[in-house]
Structure 1
Amino acid sequence: MLILFRQLRHQKRLFSTWTDTFDKYLIGAEPPVKDQHSKLLAKRNLIYNIEIQDVKPGYVSEYLSNAEKVLPDIHADNDIPVELYGQFHVQLGQLDRIYTIWRHSDGYSAVDKTLLQLNQIKGYGNFLEEQGKLLRKREQQLCYEFAFWPQYDDYYDGGIFELRSYSLKAGCLYEWANAWSKAVNLREKDAVMGLCSQIGDMYTVHHIWRYTDLEHRKTERDMSWQSGEWADLVIKTVPMIKNLQVNIMQPSIYSPLR
């Protein structure tokens, strides 16, 4: 009986080890942490508000024209603690979609203050109402920027932007950040920013890249695959992804990042 008990206990340990290993591979295990992800992975006090607007077909130009009359003034107002980081409309991918990215440099207190002050701007409510008539769908995400992401230098005016939006499985964020922190420098000159949602569609990561054109994009991506480190990144991160959406975008004429 004692021998049988030891054999069963040994088999249970083997099964437990196998299932733990499988779960780590499939889902991605995070190390034990004693603080929030946003504190451990984020650049200090930076909060990005991504507005995602799906415009009715045929109304993108009108939507952007209306926004040009309002958004640059908000950006230039020093009393409102927010700046327009960039605005982009999709050329290839999710058509008729506009991404507007605002940056708060003083954390959530700046977000609270911005919301209050925008509501006090005369005519701002009417502007939102009129813009809403041109939309099929809209949503917001409050995001932090990954601390490991390289500082982007705006070294030319023009080109295209690629937004790669990943929906991750719960429990993968640390492993994702660890893998990318070791590999993103391989394409540092193309890397604009990496964001992770805190409010809105959770476990969403956005990577923004910049290229001169589609051919340049192909060349840069082909070169990356020549590195074994980049291939290792893909092997490690693909099992963490539930969904990936890729959009090629152009900046609006009043976008600070262009």
Structure 2
Amino acid sequence: MIVEERNYRIRSGKLREYLALVQNEGLAIQQPILGNLIGYFVSEIGPLNHVVHMWGYADFEDRTTRRQRLSEDPRWQEFIPKLTALIETAENRILLPTSFSPLK
């Protein structure tokens, strides 16, 4: 298993709008295609207006296939400009679990 961690800094004053958009529209498109949503988080201490979401995949090939399907989905193509208008910066990491991690 691998975990994709996506970190977004949301434009000041737009966090509620971003979260509502994801909850009401985005996840209905993403979750059936991407599958394993591990969690969706906001920062409470430290840099403000940060969102972190994590998705689990069997391996990098599984992630590549699923992300490709999402990017080709017409609903996602229509949705993504609404989302990106609210994002100031984006960062992405692929995390590999250790041998003793509960998520393997």
TM-score tier, shorter chain, comes to 0.7 to 0.9
Aligned AA (1:173): L
Q: Could you say what secondary structure the match of 1:177 adopts?
A: helix
User: Which one of the candidate residues 79, 83, 90 is aligned to 1:233?
Assistant: 79
* Deviation by residue 1:78-122 (Cα, 9 ceiling, x = unmatched): xxxxxxxxxxxxxxxxxxxxxxxxxxxxxxxxxxxxxxxxxxxxx
Q: Distance in 2 between matches of 1:169 and 1:237?
A: 11
Cα RMSD (Å): 1.5
State the TM-score, normalized to the length of structure 1.
Answer: 0.36
Q: Distance in 1 between matches of 2:52 and 2:88?
A: 14
In structure 2, the partner of 1:186 is 29
Q: Distance in 1 between matches of 2:41 and 2:78?
A: 22
Q: Does 1:220 align with 2:69?
A: no
> Is this contact kept in 2: 1:184–1:191, CA < 8 A?
no
In structure 2, the partner of 1:135 is none
Aligned AA (1:169): R
State the TM-score, normalized to the length of structure 2.
Answer: 0.84
Residue 162 of structure 1: how far off its partner (Å):
0.5
Q: Distance in 1 between matches of 2:43 and 2:2?
A: 23
Residue 193 of structure 1: how far off its partner (Å):
0.9
Q: Distance in 2 between matches of 1:194 and 1:230?
A: 19
In structure 2, the partner of 1:163 is 5
The runs of at least 4 aligned residues of structure 1 exceeding 2 Å deviation read 185-188, 225-229, 252-258
Aligned length in residues: 100
Q: Could you say what secondary structure the match of 1:180 adopts?
A: helix
Q: Distance in 2 between matches of 1:178 and 1:205?
A: 13
In structure 2, the partner of 1:177 is 19
Q: Could you say what secondary structure the match of 1:198 adopts?
A: coil
**Structure with more relative contact order (C-alpha pairs < 8 Å, separation 6 or more):** 2
Aligned AA (1:174): R
Structure 1 unaligned regions, length at least 5: 1-158
Q: Could you say what secondary structure the match of 2:44 adopts?
A: strand
Q: How does 1:1-258 map to 2 (within 5 A)?
A: 159-181=1-23, 182-188=25-31, 189-258=35-104
Structure 2 unaligned regions, length at least 5: none
